[in-house]
Amino acid sequence: MLSGKGNYYGTLEERLAGLEGDYAVTIQGITVKLDEHADLLREQGRDIRGLGQEMHEVKIRLAGMDTRLAIVDTRLNRIDERPDLLREEMNEKFEQVNLNFEQVNLRFEQVNLKFEQVIALLMQGK
């Protein structure tokens, strides 16, 4: 019987040793997977930080573009205002020219009337 008990304990011990081995292999596998996962997370973290830096740079560039666009918009508005200002100036000048022509016409009419009066006087004196 002792030999039977020895086999039983031997078998139990062997079974426990086998379970411990399986447990160790399983824990090792889990540890490897956890390490791989941690490496992937670190890599993703670096990628995310890189993307964050790129986004920051893009925001800075966009802010610069917004500033430039505002300057261009201001210049375009000034260009849009120039034809209106020129049109107003030209209208004022044309009005002044028209007034000058009207005055010249009045003077010509006055001179014409005087010539007619002179001619009429000359004709009476003949």
Q: How far is CA 16 from CA 4, 20, 43, 48, in A?
A: 18, 6, 40, 47
| Per-residue model confidence as pLDDT tens for the chain (126 residues) | 344 455 666 788 888 888 888 889 999 999 999 999 999 999 999 999 999 999 999 999 999 999 999 999 998 888 888 888 888 999 999 999 999 999 999 999 999 999 999 998 888 876
